[in-house]
Every structure is written in structure tokens, then in C-alpha cells.
């Protein structure tokens, strides 16, 4: 078959491990494209996986002061190859690309057996414009389902506010039905940058009575 990113023919290499595990890790990508993505290495903040340190980072300490215990996992760094990937997947709307990380995501998500998966939603306007929720696409391609618990209101343009004003603003997310919340949730997004969105939604769910909320993103 052809590489989903560059179109070159991929040779499926029958290595011992691919035979043994009965799967082909890179079947959607050629080896060049597959190796352009960089996994987060050994040194990172134990709470949010920020790279280059091995103790809790300042951001996570700030979240802690706001009453949010960050518990985040991510797989890849946001390098150039990943930026290119998201520009094609999200902004050009190439829905086929949801499969690119299917097997690596499946390997990670299967570790959260007791958790219900919940995806960060788009506003109805954004969903209409893009045609799909990019996070739902990634999770579905990896073979998992998720609960449709959250909604998002359309945000007003926020360019006139500075960062702290933006962070202090009421979050635009809401819980659709508070009567049937699961006990443990894995909250999933595509990219973790400041963590503002995902950590505030985590707190929203915890305040509504969810006992444990962990967070996850493909990229950090
Ligand atoms: Zn390729
Ligand atoms: Zn951190």
C-alpha cells in the first residue's frame, strides 16, 4: 500500500516482532515518514510530561495552586513533522490521516481499561466548518469508543485579552448530563500546550462528582 503522508509505496517488512505480535506497526506510513515523528524521551515532568526536567514543572505547580492535580500522558513531541501532520489533518481536513497513529494510540489507550474515554469537543460552529472532530477520529481509528458527555459553546474572539485574562475566563465547556457520570474518566485531546483547556475540563468533571480524571494527548 501507499504511505498516507507522502504517497510512496510502503514495503511491509516482516520483522520477527511484527510476526510475533501479529501486527505491522507502520503499515500506514513509509519508514521515512514514520521516523520523522519524535516520541517524548526519558526526562519529563512526572505530572504533565513537559520535556527536559525530571521533577514537577512550574506550570503544574501553578495548576496545583488552582486546585488541579495534573495527571497527563502524551506520546509525541510537537516537532515540525507533527505540525505538518496536524495542518493537513485538521486544517486541510484530510480525514484519512486519522489512521496514521492508530496502532501507537491503541497500544497506549489499552492501558486505561477501567476508564471511560471522553473526548474534548468542538463547538457546533467549528464542527460544521471542519466536518469532523479530529480527536474522535484518532480515537475511533485506534479502535476505541468514547462517551459523548461534553459540549462546547462558541467562543468569542479572545485576541483582545491577555493570557491571564483568558485563563480566568469561564471555560466554554459544559457537561451534557450530570446524572450518569462514570467514576473514572480518561479525558483525551490531540495536543497539550498550556494544558489550560484539558485541565479545566478535568476540574469541571471532578467538581461534578467524577472520582478520578486522567488526561491524555497524542502530542505534548
Ligand atoms: Zn511516507
Ligand atoms: Zn508539568
**From the CA of 3, which ligand is nearest?**
1
Report CA(189)–ligand 1 centroid distance (Å). 25
The CA 5 to ligand 1 mean position distance, Å, reads 5
Assess whether pLDDT exceeds 60 at residue 182.
yes
Q: How many residues appear in the chain?
A: 220
Mean pLDDT, rounded, of the chain: 89
Sign of CA dihedral 96, 83, 188, 121: negative
- Which long-range contacts does 202-205 make (Cβ < 8 Å, 24+ apart)? 202/68, 203/66, 203/67, 203/68, 204/171, 204/173, 204/174, 204/175, 205/118, 205/149, 205/175, 205/181
pLDDT given for residue 166 in this prediction: 56
Q: How far is the CA of 106 from the centre of ligand 1 (A)?
A: 21
State the average pLDDT over residues 189-215: 96
pLDDT of 109 higher than 80:
yes
Ligand nearest to the CA of 63: 2
Listed residue (16, 68, 38, 55) closest to 196, CA to CA: 68
Taking the centre of ligand 2 as the mean of its atom positions, its distance from the CA of residue 83, in whole angstroms, is 22
Q: How many CB atoms lie within 10 A of CB 49?
A: 18
Ligand nearest to the CA of 55: 2
42 Cα to the center of ligand 2, angstroms? 14
Residue 25 has pLDDT above 60, yes or no: no
Ligand number nearest CA of 10 is 1
Distances (CA, A) of 141 to 32, 53, 198: 22, 33, 21
pLDDT band at 26 (very low <50, low <70, confident <90, very high): very low
Quick one: DSSP state of residue 115?
Answer: P
Measure 16 CA to ligand 2 centroid, in angstroms: 37
Q: 183: part of which helix (H) or strand (E)? A: none
**Mean local confidence (pLDDT), 144-165:** 79
Calpha distance 78→76 (Å, rounded): 7
* Mean pLDDT value of segment 148-168: 72
Q: Which is more confidently placed, 152 or 20?
A: 152
Q: What is the mean pLDDT of residues 181-187?
A: 97
CA distance 32 to 26: 10
* pLDDT at position 44 over 80: yes
pLDDT (mean) for 29-42: 94
Neighbours of ion ligand 1 (CB under 5 A): 3, 5-6, 30, 33
Per-residue pLDDT, 160: 62
For residues 49-67, give the mean pLDDT: 94
Task: Show the cell assigned to 185.
Answer: 474518566
pTM score of the predicted model: 0.88
Q: Which ligand is nearest to the CA of 70?
A: 2
Amino acid at each position: 500500500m501507499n504511505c498516507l503522508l507522502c504517497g510512496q509505496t510502503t514495503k511491509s517488512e516482516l520483522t520477527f516482532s511484527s510476526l510475533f505480535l501479529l501486527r505491522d506497526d507502520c503499515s500506514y506510513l513509509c519508514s521515512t515518514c514514520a521516523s520523522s515523528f519524535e516520541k517524548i524521551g526519558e526526562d519529563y515532568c512526572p505530572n504533565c510530561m513537559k520535556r527536559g526536567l525530571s521533577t514537577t514543572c512550574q506550570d503544574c505547580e501553578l495548576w496545583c495552586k488552582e486546585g488541579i492535580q495534573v495527571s497527563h500522558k502524551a506520546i509525541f513531541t510537537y516537532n515540525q513533522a507533527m505540525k505538518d501532520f496536524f495542518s493537513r489533518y485538521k486544517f486541510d481536513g484530510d480525514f484519512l490521516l486519522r489512521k496514521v497513529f492508530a496502532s501507537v494510540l491503541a497500544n497506549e489507550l489499552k492501558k486505561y481499561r477501567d476508564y471511560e474515554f471522553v473526548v474534548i469537543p468542538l463547538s457546533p460552529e467549528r464542527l460544521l466548518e471542519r466536518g469532523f472532530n479530529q480527536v474522535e477520529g484518532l480515537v475511533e481509528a485506534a479502535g476505541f469508543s468514547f462517551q459523548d458527555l461534553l459540549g462546547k459553546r462558541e467562543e468569542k474572539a479572545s485576541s483582545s485579552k491577555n493570557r491571564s485574562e483568558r485563563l480566568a475566563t469561564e471555560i466554554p465547556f459544559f457537561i451534557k448530563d450530570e446524572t450518569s457520570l462514570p467514576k473514572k474518566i480518561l479525558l483525551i485531546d490531540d495536543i497539550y500546550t498550556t494544558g489550560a483547556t484539558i485541565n479545566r475540563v478535568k476540574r469541571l468533571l471532578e467538581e461534578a462528582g467524577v472520582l478520578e480524571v486522567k488526561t491524555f494527548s497524542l502530542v505534548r
